[in-house]
Structure 1
Amino acid sequence: MMFYSQVNKGKMMSLLKVFKDILNNKELNSEERHDLERAVKILQDTHVNILITGATGCGKSSTINALFSIDQAMGKSDGPVKEVAKVGVGVDPETMDIAKYELENMTIWDSPGLGDGEEADQRHRRNIINKLLEKDSNGNAVIDLVLVLLDGGSRDLGTSYELINNVIINTLKKSGEGRTDRLLVAINQCDMAMKGRNWDAEAGRPNAALENFLEEKVCSTRKRIQEATGVTVNPIYFSAGFKSEDEEQRPYNITRLLRYIITAMPSEKRVIVAEKINVEEIERDTSRRKQEERQEIDSSIGSALEKILGAAGGVVKDVVSTIASGVGTLIDSAAKTIGKAIGGAISTVASFFGW
């Protein structure tokens, strides 16, 4: 089974809820109970913070919506509550400061990039630096990952490189942890890299000429950052797609971007991110490598979950497999309750183990 099985009308059952239900099973031995309680505590105490930034028009909102299922989330900024990841119309930025979208135990921070004028740029620099330097109560960096989006259709990326090289990398080097591996760079709107030429609109993917052009753009981006900072990044390209009343474009390579994000996370945080996946958009991805990327994500999540569960992995597998098969007698009424609680989400948990 694949991790992406669509359940609960497109939403996935919380693994925390699943684990808590299984804890009611009286047949757990002391080691299994200890490890499952530890897994519950890890999930309860773990919070993921992702900072996404890029110039106005690079598609931050579209990317957030394509990656994550946030229909129930509340979008918040320092001012009044605003619509979650609203896709902007026109040339003016919708927000001049960092906004945040809260998805229970994951927060997405959305910051404008540079290029909105010197006064605004100074404010954006200061806000990004402060957010990257922020520490939690344990002294660890609050931001787990910063994703910089480049506009694939733009020829002038000077302000984006200034943001990456002089603001983000410079700050990460000075953060005390020196973890520049927290930086990811992705080129959005790859369909417009050659002004729309060599994009197969029917298939929703680049032809050979555009693909070669994009690979060269990835190499030049990597080289430019490395020469300026000494830091090696491995950019990818994608298109978040869009929907309007009269037309739509399916996302391309969004699964690769998701894999890029998940594998950059500490193992215990990969599970948190995985629960927020926008299954519908991943299914609509037109990339030929989508299945391979999905398998890599499944493997990454499976390893993370096995590490978290420890000795409890076996009992989780037994309970879930029994419910999934629909046969056999569960141990007691508590286990029967588990079956009702998990429902269609069985495939979600089972997929972590390749059952």
Structure 2
Amino acid sequence: MTKENTIYEEMENDIYNANLEETEKNKLLKNLFQLKEKRINIMITGATGCGKSSTINALFNSEVAKVGVGVDPETMEIVKYELGNLILWDSPGLGDGKEADNRHAKNIIKKLSEVDSDGKALIDLVLVILDGSSRDLGTSYELINNVIIPNLGEEKDKRIIVAINQADVAMKGRYWDYEKNEPQQKLVDFLEQKVVSVKNRIYEGTGVDVEPIYYSAGFKEEGEMQTNPYNLSKLLWMIIKATPKEKRLVYVDNINKDEEMWKKNDELEDYTKEIHNSFVETIKDCAAEGADIGEEIGSIFGTAGEKVGKVVGTIAGGIIGVGKAILGRWF
């Protein structure tokens, strides 16, 4: 089977085949080289049992992280998953006892204090996952208010995402339409109240204004039926939106290609359109920076555009076609 080109290989081919002056090609290639060097580091943390591994698997690859089963957490220390230039740091959840929690908190703080070769914070973004089925989120607030946010440096609100997982069992499985894989209105109201409560508790404790969302990563345990995610596209959109523009293309080749993972969302916004626009913005503003090619960029990055289109088509659950059908006009 032929190996599929990465987004960067498609862009390189487009540049070489473009009808441009050599000086402009060289500028584009130089920008492309800089884009290829970009890495995105995401820390994923939360209380034991909140579904960190399930979330990683749903977003990026069904076998990236082994889902823990049973009373003992699968991840005992911070685990690093390298998916090309996408680096995921799966940290142990708090809630394993005072001694273990202190050790985990110190490890998280230490990781957040690390810097890259440019002297900037190594961790670009922290995704904190809360257990939507739990009434007691005290451990999670301790993690967010006392460990994560105080160690995020400047622009704290732009480097943290708070997501409430297991929305399907937030009311012990009641008011979830399993056939449609979506919450009924009574559960929606409950989840929205929970979002407001979490937002207020974090603001009261830190002064940082976050916009939590609720979702379900789905699950697959031995002997249990697979349930598909809900609001996963929204979660991905929030992650991409919080990622520096020049690093966003890193996601293109790593997004889970199983269309079933992306089908159900709250439909309050066209998340696939926003995701597509984020990728196009990177190509337009970062790949072409300093190159005098104007509106020609849409036609130059044709195969790269099709690559983006296929990815966004997958996130749209296969409802929308790929290539030109999904991209329409690039700009």
Tell me the TM-score range normalised by the shorter chain. 0.7 to 0.9
Structure 1: which 5+ runs fail to align?
1-7, 72-83, 324-341
Matched length: 313
1:309 maps onto 2:325 in alignment? no
* Kept after mapping to 1: 8 A contact 2:203/2:209: yes
1:49 maps onto 2:41 in alignment? yes
**Other structure's SS at 1:286 match:** coil
**Other structure's SS at 1:112 match:** coil
CA distance in 2, matches of 1:273, 1:166: 30
CA distance in 1, matches of 2:282, 2:75: 36
Alignment TM-score, normalising by the size of structure 2? 0.86
Deviations 1:199-231 (A, max 9, x none): 011000100000000000000000001011111
CA distance in 2, matches of 1:109, 1:255: 21
CA distance in 2, matches of 1:70, 1:22: 31
CA distance in 2, matches of 1:67, 1:140: 26
Mean Cα deviation higher: 280-289 or 136-145? 280-289
Q: 1:273 aligns with which of 247, 251, 254?
A: 251
Hey, what does 1:318 align to over in structure 2?
299
1:152/1:346 CA distance change after superposition, 3 Å: closer
Hey, what does 2:317 align to over in structure 1?
none
CA distance in 2, matches of 1:115, 1:236: 22
Hey, what does 2:116 align to over in structure 1?
136
* Kept after mapping to 2: 8 A contact 1:49/1:144: yes
Name the amino acid aligned to 1:32.
Answer: E
1:190 maps onto 2:167 in alignment? yes
Name the amino acid aligned to 2:189.
Answer: N
Q: Report the Cα offset of residue 139 of structure 1.
A: 0.6
* Kept after mapping to 1: 8 A contact 2:279/2:308: no
Q: Report the Cα offset of residue 171 of structure 1.
A: 1.2
1:66 maps onto 2:44 in alignment? no
Deviations 1:231-286 (A, max 9, x none): 11100000001235652211100000000100001101111123311132565432
* Kept after mapping to 2: 8 A contact 1:152/1:193: yes
CA RMSD of the aligned region, Å? 2.7
* Kept after mapping to 1: 8 A contact 2:162/2:212: yes
Hey, what does 2:214 align to over in structure 1?
237
Mean Cα deviation higher: 18-27 or 154-163? 18-27
Name the amino acid aligned to 1:276.
Answer: N
Q: Report the Cα offset of residue 55 of structure 1.
A: 1.0
* Kept after mapping to 2: 8 A contact 1:205/1:252: yes
Hey, what does 2:272 align to over in structure 1?
294
Name the amino acid aligned to 1:318.
Answer: S
Name the amino acid aligned to 1:94.
Answer: E
* Kept after mapping to 1: 8 A contact 2:58/2:229: yes
1:289/1:189 CA distance change after superposition, 3 Å: same
Q: Report the Cα offset of residue 39 of structure 1.
A: 2.6
Mean Cα deviation higher: 284-293 or 199-208? 284-293
**Other structure's SS at 2:42 match:** strand
1:151/1:200 CA distance change after superposition, 3 Å: same
1:127 maps onto 2:85 in alignment? no
**Other structure's SS at 2:164 match:** strand
Hey, what does 2:12 align to over in structure 1?
20
Q: Report the Cα offset of residue 31 of structure 1.
A: 4.5
**Other structure's SS at 2:48 match:** coil
Q: Report the Cα offset of residue 343 of structure 1.
A: 12
1:192-207 correspondence to structure 2 within 5 Å: 192-207=169-184
* Kept after mapping to 2: 8 A contact 1:151/1:189: yes
Structure with the greater relative contact order (CA < 8 A, sep ≥ 6): 1 or 2? 1
CA distance in 2, matches of 1:267, 1:31: 25
Hey, what does 1:228 align to over in structure 2?
205
Alignment TM-score, normalising by the size of structure 1? 0.80
CA distance in 2, matches of 1:127, 1:182: 18
* Kept after mapping to 2: 8 A contact 1:67/1:282: no
Q: Report the Cα offset of residue 123 of structure 1.
A: 1.0
1:203/1:12 CA distance change after superposition, 3 Å: farther
CA distance in 1, matches of 2:42, 2:308: 28
1:94 maps onto 2:67 in alignment? no
Structure 2: which 5+ runs fail to align?
311-322
CA distance in 1, matches of 2:161, 2:265: 20
**Other structure's SS at 1:248 match:** coil
1:137/1:229 CA distance change after superposition, 3 Å: same
CA distance in 2, matches of 1:346, 1:62: 25
Q: Report the Cα offset of residue 69 of structure 1.
A: 3.0
1:40 maps onto 2:20 in alignment? no
* Kept after mapping to 2: 8 A contact 1:305/1:352: no
Q: Report the Cα offset of residue 94 of structure 1.
A: 1.5
Q: Report the Cα offset of residue 121 of structure 1.
A: 0.6
Q: Which has the larger radius of gyration?
A: 1
1:258 maps onto 2:236 in alignment? yes
Q: Report the Cα offset of residue 18 of structure 1.
A: 1.5
Name the amino acid aligned to 1:240.
Answer: A
Deviations 1:67-92 (A, max 9, x none): 11375xxxxxxxxxxxx410111010
How high is the sequence identity, in percent, across the aligned residues? 49
CA distance in 1, matches of 2:149, 2:122: 16
* Kept after mapping to 1: 8 A contact 2:15/2:300: no
Name the amino acid aligned to 1:267.
Answer: K
Hey, what does 1:112 align to over in structure 2?
92
